[in-house]
Homo-oligomer: A and B are copies of this chain.
Amino acid sequence: MSRLRVNSFSISIDGYGAGPNQSLENPLGVGGEALHDWIVATRTFQQLYGDGGGTTGDDDEFVARGLNNIGAWILGRNMFGPVRGPWPDDSWKGWWGDRPPYHTPVFVLTHQPRESVAMDGGTTFHFVTDGIYAALDRARQAANGQDVRLGGGVATIRQYLEAGLIDELHIAISPMLLGSGEHLFANLDTVALGYHCTERVATAGAMHYVLTRNGIG
C-alpha cells in the first residue's frame, strides 16, 4: 500500500513551520531557516549536499528514513518558489539549482498551468492545477507502489491533513521560537481526524514525533 507521508517537517516550539514574509532571500520566511539546523547537521544531508561529514544517530536516521521508499513528491507552490500569480516565463525551476534533491517526479500544486520541467538527477516537476486529490492520484501512479512524500509547506500539509489523506506525519520540534508565521496545528483538530502519536525520540537537535492516522473519521 502506497502511503502519503510527511517526513522531517520542522516546527518551532510555538508551532510555526515557517517564519513570516517568505521571499527569495528567506525561502522559509524570516527566521525559518534555523528550523532545519538539525537536518543540515546530519550525515545524510551532508553527503547529499555538503562536504560528506555530518552526524550519525537518531537525527540522521530520521532524515534517511524520509528518503526511503519514496516514489514521488508533492509540493505546495510556495515551497517550489516565490513566484505568485501566472508564471511570467519558465525561468524559475525551484530553489535547488539544476540538480534538485528529489530524484523522482514532483507534483507542484498551483493554480497556474505550466509545462513539466525535467531536471538533472531524475527530478521532473509537474504542475497540477486541479487540486490536492488530483495531485495525490498522479503522484501515486508515478510512485508505482512506493510511498508519496508531501514536502510542504504548512498550508499544503494542513489541506492534506484536513482531508484525512496523510498516513504518517513526522514532525521535529526545533528548540527555538518563531513568534509568527504559518502555524501547523492551530484550529486543526488532529484528534477528530484520527491522528495519534505513535513514536517520540529526543535528540541533540530536535524533538521528534511521529503522528499516525488510525482510520477514524
Considering only CB atoms and an 8 Å cut-off, how many residues of chain A contact the other chain?
A: 31
Tell me, rounded to whole Å, the shortest Cβ–Cβ distance linking A157 to chain B: 13
Tell me whether A207 is interfacial, beta carbon within 8 Å: yes
**A186:B189 contact, CB within 8 angstroms:** no
Q: Which of A176, A178, A185, A192 has the most CB of B within 10 A?
A: A185
Contacts of A65 in B (CB 8 A): none
**B177:A196 contact, CB within 8 angstroms:** yes
Tell me whether A175 is interfacial, beta carbon within 8 Å: yes
| Choice from B179, B187, B190 contacting A189 with Cβ under 8 Å | B179
Given A186-B183, A189-B180, A191-B31: A202 and B196 interface contact (C-beta under 8 Å) = no
Task: Give complex CA distance A178, B190 in Å.
Answer: 8
Contacts of A180 in B (CB 8 A): 189, 191-192
Tell me whether A195 is interfacial, beta carbon within 8 Å: yes
Tell me whether A209 is interfacial, beta carbon within 8 Å: yes
| Choice from B177, B187, B202 contacting A195 with Cβ under 8 Å | B177
Contacts of A179 in B (CB 8 A): 189-193
Contacts of A188 in B (CB 8 A): 14
Within 8 A of B (CB), among A167-209: 171, 173, 175-180, 183-193, 195-197, 200, 202, 207, 209
Nearest CB to that of A186 among chain B residues? Answer: B186
Tell me, rounded to whole Å, the shortest Cβ–Cβ distance linking A183 to chain B: 6
Q: Which of A13, A173, A183, A202 has the most CB of B within 10 A?
A: A13
Tell me whether A211 is interfacial, beta carbon within 8 Å: yes
Tell me whether A29 is interfacial, beta carbon within 8 Å: no
Tell me whether A76 is interfacial, beta carbon within 8 Å: no
Tell me, rounded to whole Å, the shortest Cβ–Cβ distance linking A156 to chain B: 18
| Choice from B15, B175, B200 contacting A209 with Cβ under 8 Å | B175
Sort A-B residue pairs by CB-CB distance and give the 8 closest, nearest first: A179-B191, A202-B202, A14-B185, A186-B186, A179-B189, A207-B207, A175-B200, A15-B15
